[in-house]
Structure 1
Amino acid sequence: MQTYSYLGQSPALRQQRQAYRHGLPACVCAHPSIPFIHRRLSAAASFAPNAAPAGAAFQSNNALDQKPLALAPQLILSNLRLFDGQTLELQKGLAVQIDQGRITAVMPVAEIPADATVMDCHNKVLMPGLIDAHWHSLLCAVDQMTAMMADPADLHLIASKEAERTLLRGFTTVRDAGGPSFSLKRGIDMGLLHGPRIYPSGAMIAQTGGHADFRMRYEVPRADGELSHTERAGVTCIADGADQVLRRVREQLMLGASQIKLMAGGGVTSLYDPLEGLQFSDAELRAAVGAANDWGTYVMVHVYCARGIQRAIKAGVKSIEHGQLADEETARMMAGEGVWWSLQPFLADEDANVQHDPRSKAKQQQVAIGTVRAYELADKYQIQTAWGTDILFTPAHLPHHGRMLSKLTRFYQPLKVLKMATGDNGRLLQMSGMRQPYEGELGVIRPGALADLLLVDGEPEQSLDFLEQPDQNLLLIIKDGKIYKNALPA
């Protein structure tokens, strides 16, 4: 890729600046504000592909139009160890064929046709692309003040560049748990931007004073029909009463939500509501579930406490987000009803979302204690458990995305953790039913599945530490049958 000298150091630019000050004609690219704009955009949304051999990652003859490499037709990946997203062991002696964005065959090496196009994987581990089941595409790379106050266009610009970095960390799919990610998803799907597949929830639906009511105190009460800044931006929407909930759910489905996100209990970052507080009545929850069911999909709810989880399950909710304050009775109910428990490793450690208010810090500690108990209960009752990070308003933690998965080896064997972030999360995504945005299985390597793959330099039977350094250890990143990174020897 070509490199360019910094705009503000060009002698020609200095001459054009002088012309501009004296009212003489000058190219608009020499406007005095350009270096400032360049610095701001570079700082907020810089992106450089990982170093790779010539002809390896993104390819383009235009520095502003990077493109992934298309795979050869019916390409076969061979000389590998296979983790298929389902089996809790690495398989040897197999090869994987990819064609037109799908896995078309998993075959013994001895059956590779003599005239096949083969890529040598150097005995590294081939696995499905990672899936983060609780992600905020528009809210992960900005601090809370920016998210609450910025021009929404700024959030989208920053998110588009963070999406590229997310993909290059090995996350080929995310379930967006709240925020206006519809345009970002469309841009990625159309090939205008690079990033993971997105399962969007749209705006987080909250009651007045609920976890996603981000209004300032001076904005209460509000006039009928008046929307707050975050509502206009599509980050959240406030609904009180079953009729309003029904309308807001239908609006998000109309915009393209693959599932619906409601706030059914208090949160750590919100200041108005207690962590154990219940939000949304039975009737309001049933209205949301009914509307989602009518569109062939499901409702996921943010909630921590046992009473809130039980209320949501009785209303028909299919995915509990967080839930770290669940008790034995609640865990048995989740197992019996086949509800998913979407857990995050909230351990109040170096990867915890930054909290400044003492009340939020206290709630964060309470959740951290509950996290250890939650994983124990999930394992004891064999609850369908999903994994996600919920990195929120803390951009400094994004480079450690993979570490938040590898630390789960504290609770599970490494391959079981890897299965949770691939095959298990892929099954959760299938619950979108008629709202499924992508045709084909994700998180597994078997015929018919979508070709989202990673080739990793690591020993996942022993440790997942290799995920903590994706630049070094992710050798091959394939999404939809296209190569976004290739660091294999030429």
Structure 2
Amino acid sequence: MSTKLIRNAAIVDGSQDRPTEPLDIAIENGRFVEVGSGLRFSADETIDLEGGIVMPGLIDCHVHVIATTANLGQNAELPNSLVTIRSLKLMNDMLMRGFTTVRDLGGADIGLKMASDEGAIAAPRLVICGKALSQTGGHTDYRGSYSNRDVSWYADRLGTLGRICDGVAEVQRAAREEIKGGAQFIKIMADGGVSSPSDPIGYLVFSVDEIKAAVEIAKGFGTYVSAHLYDDRAIVRALDCGVECIEHGNLISDETIARIAREGQAIVPTNITYDYLATEGPRFGLPPESVAKVADVREAGLERLSKLHEAGALMGYGSDLLGGMQAQQSGEFALRARYMPNQAVIRSATLDAARVLRMEGEIGVIAPGAHADLIAVRGNPLDDISVLAGQGEGISMVLKDGRVMTRT
């Protein structure tokens, strides 16, 4: 039995516009067991933060831990062993930035998740969908116009984000196989995308029956479908089919924003990736045809942030960066803070992110029963969101499941 006591720590979790009074936080066997003033708790280790600020471990609702280069077609060609080793570095960097839980939206497998859960690697907790489901010529079909390689070649490639399935029966089988393989939800590509060669944004790809098939399988297994979406027509179509989480949503209309706020679906904007792709994409290997698509969604996505916040939509923090650009993961904080209050930005990476992941009360909060994920920060992010920027320079300690992962 491992115990730890953190004394004199003010908490910021996005639930209010100021830090709490300094409190004591008791941890036992990887969980928070008590939070309050002047706790009497016998602990193996006591850490006195002397009135400093702590936050729940941060949550990124949209990452690709196996995307070791921005050229995703090339990434799929890499040896699985190389992708694994590179992914370990990417995940460790995320943890050092304070992200103790990340949701992978295509690529990470059960082996990487188990390694993190077992503590075999220093990495965030992984929530996975396995391979994202796409159709021939859709997002994650990286073969391009001149390649007719059989898609089965990609089946065992760790470096590929998705799998191709055409028709209701294939979609059903693929969804079942991903859940059998450890997927905790299903991801579908329900619109065109930036990084793939043959699918324009606003392209209505999967048929209505195919989308409904994926939703039926997911719900039958007690989970949900999250969908890659930009264009409002594609978003409305997906919502009508039962999709419950929108990834990106850059071109969503005011009417559809009001709908998701009313009906309770989630949305995960990922604006930092477009901001960075526009300037640095080619340097990190993004093909020219993908760079050309960025402008279509970049400005619109930023403008939508204020509308989503004002409507009260459930919004999770997401980065969606690729390869070496993943170092910009924390840049989404400052980007959102131009359009939303700092408190709301923080909440999107803590309490609201936990709701998006359907792990409310488990993560994103410092409260009895939750995983003991915590970061200590040098300053008050409610006043200065840049405390969370960079590579963790503003973070003095990271705990995951009660274990100190780094302390400076």
Q: TM-score range by the shorter chain?
A: over 0.9
**Equivalent residue number for residue 232 of structure 1:** 156
For 1:478 and 1:204, locate their aligned partners in 2 and report how far apart those are by CA, in whole Å. 30
C-alpha distance in 1 between matches for 2:304 and 2:152: 35
Name the CA shift for 1:259/1:205 in 2 (closer, same or farther; >3 Å). same
Q: 1:172 to 1:113 in 2, by over 3 A?
A: same
Aligned residue number for residue 382 of structure 1: 312
**Paired residues for 1:156-235 under 5 Å:** 156-220=84-148, 226-233=150-157, 235=160
* Deviation (angstroms), 1:473: 1.9
- Equivalent residue, structure 1, for 2:368: 447
Matching of residue 372 in structure 1 with residue 372 in structure 2? no
Q: Residue 113 of structure 1 aligns to which amino acid in structure 2?
A: R
Amino acid at match of 1:281: S
Q: Distance in 2 between matches of 1:267 and 1:141?
A: 17
Structure 2: 5+ residue stretches without partners = none
Which residue among 2, 7, 16 is the counterpart of 1:87?
16
Q: Do structure 1's residue 77 and structure 2's residue 1 form an aligned pair?
A: no
Within 1, Cα distance between the matches of 2:84 and 2:390? 27
Map 1:322-341 → 2, pairs under 5 A: 322-341=248-267
Aligned residue number for residue 55 of structure 1:
none
Partner SS state of residue 484, structure 1: strand
In the TM superposition, residue 139 of structure 1 has moved relative to its aligned partner by 0.6
Report the equivalent of 2:37.
Answer: 108
- Picking from 377, 381, 394, the partner of 1:473 is 394
**Quick one: structure 1 residues 411 and 325, their matched pair in 2 at CA, closer, same or farther if it must change by over 3 Å?**
same
**1:292 counterpart = 2:218:** yes
Paired with 1:161 and 1:362, the residues of 2 have a C-alpha distance of: 30
Deviations 1:304-344 (A, max 9, x none): 00110011101111000011011122222222321101111
1:45-56 matches, within 5 Å, as none
Tell me the C-alpha RMSD between the 2 structures. 2.2
User: Which residue of the partner structure matches residue 174 of structure 2?
Assistant: 248
Aligned equivalents of 2:377 and 2:369: distance in 1? 22
Letter in 1 for 2:151: L
Residues 188 and 201 (structure 1 numbering): CA distance in 2 closer, same or farther, change over 3 Å?
same
For residues 68 and 15 of structure 2, the distance between their equivalents in structure 1, rounded to whole angstroms, comes to: 29
Deviation at 1:182, TM superposition (A): 1.9
Partner Cα distance (1:311, 1:359) in 2: 27
Paired residue type of 1:371: G
Deviation of 1:141 after TM superposition, in Å, equals 5.4
The CA distance in 2 between the partners of 1:250 and 1:73, in whole Å, is 38
Corresponding letter in the other structure for 1:376: S
Match of 1:131 in 2: 59
Residue type of the partner of 1:162?
Answer: L
Instruction: Please report how far the alpha carbon of residue 468 of structure 1 lies from its aligned counterpart in structure 2 after TM superposition.
Output: 2.0
Q: Partners in 2 of 1:347 and 1:205 — Cα distance?
A: 21
The 3-state SS of whatever aligns with 1:332 is helix
Deviation at 1:371, TM superposition (A): 0.9
How many residue pairs match? The answer is 401
The residue type equivalent to 1:139 in the other structure is A
Contact kept? 1:441, 1:450, Cα under 8 Å: yes
Equivalent residues of 1:85, 1:444 under 8 A apart: no
> What do residues 152-201 of structure 1 show as CA deviations (whole Å, max 9, x unaligned)?
22111211222222211111000000003321111121222120000011
Distance 1:359 1:349 in 2: 17
For structure 1, which segment, 341-350 or 294-303, has the greater mean C-alpha deviation from structure 2 after superposition? 341-350
> Which amino acid in 2 is paired with 1:271?
P
Query: Residues 56 and 350 of structure 2 are in contact (CA less than 8 Å); yes or no, is this contact kept in structure 1?
Result: yes
SS of 2:309 mapped into structure 1:
helix
1:48 maps to none
In the TM superposition, what is the alpha-carbon distance from 1:470 to its structure 2 partner?
A: 4.0
* Equivalent of residue 391 in structure 1, options 321, 327, 352: 321
Q: Which moved more, 1:476-485 or 1:233-242?
A: 233-242
Alignment partner of 2:293 out of 349, 363, 377 = 363
Counterpart Cα distance in 1 of 2:228 and 2:168: 18
Q: CA deviation at 1:145?
A: 5.3
The 8 Å contact of residues 208 and 237 in structure 2, kept in 1 or not, is answered as yes
Runs of 4+ in 1 over 6 A off after TM superposition: none
Deviates more, 1:451-460 or 1:146-155: 146-155
Q: CA separation in 1, counterparts of 2:179 and 2:274? A: 35
Structure 1 counterpart SS, 2:371: coil
Letter in 1 for 2:265: V
Instruction: Structure 1: give runs of 5+ residues left out of the alignment.
Output: 1-71, 434-439
1:347–1:371 CA contact under 8 A, matched in 2: no
Q: Is the 8 A contact 1:299 1:317 kept in 2?
A: yes
Structure 2 partner of 1:62: none
Residue number in structure 1 paired with 2:48: 120
Deviation at 1:87, TM superposition (A): 3.0
Structure 2 counterpart of 1:304, one-letter code: Y
Q: 306, 326, 345: which is aligned to 1:417? A: 345
> Which SS does the other structure have where 2:333 is aligned?
helix
* 1:272 and 2:202 are equivalent in the alignment: no
3-state secondary structure, aligned to 1:139: coil
Q: CA shift at 1:294, angstroms?
A: 0.8
AA partner of residue 183 (structure 1):
G
1:309 to 235, 240, 249: 235
For 1:482 and 1:442, locate their aligned partners in 2 and report how far apart those are by CA, in whole Å. Answer: 15
Deviations 1:113-153 (A, max 9, x none): 28666321132211101110000010145643540321122
Q: Secondary structure at the match of 2:113?
A: helix
| Whole-Å separation in 2 of the counterparts to 1:363 and 1:185 | 32
Instruction: Report the Cα offset of residue 263 of structure 1.
Output: 0.2
CA distance in 2, matches of 1:376, 1:413: 10
